[in-house]
Structure 1
Amino acid sequence: MKWLQTIQQQFSQHKYAINAKQLGDDAELAWSNLGYWDDAASSYPDACRQLADQLAQAVHLTSNDRLLDLGCGQGASLLHWQQQYHVQHIEAVELQSSCVIQIQKHLLQITAIHPYSFLNLKQIQFKSGFDVVLCIDAAYHSNLNLFLDSVGSVLNSNGRLGFHYLMLSDQWLDLNSFQKKKYQWLLKAADVNLNNLMTESVLKQTLQSYDFEGIEIRDLSEEVLQGFAKYFHKLQQLPQQPTDLDAFKIRMTAKLCAKLYADGWVKYVQISAKK
Structure 2
Amino acid sequence: MKSIVNCRSLVVAAILSGCFAVSAEAAEPGGTNAVAPAAAASAGGQPSGDSCWTAERRQNDTDGYVAFVLSKLDTELRRTMEARQKLEVDLKELSLRKQQAEQRQLLVDCAARELRAVLNSGCFPAQVNGECFPCPDTIVTRISALMMEAGALNQSISELTAELRAGRIENERLLVHTIVLKNDLARIDVRRSVMTAGRLPQEADGLFDEIDDMLPAIPEKQTEHENRVKQFLDDSSASQTVQRQAKPVFSQF
TM-score grouping bracket, smaller chain normalisation: under 0.3
Q: Max radius of gyration: which structure?
A: 2
TM, length-normalised to structure 1: 0.19
TM, length-normalised to structure 2: 0.20
Would you tell me which structure has more helix in proportion to its own residues?
2
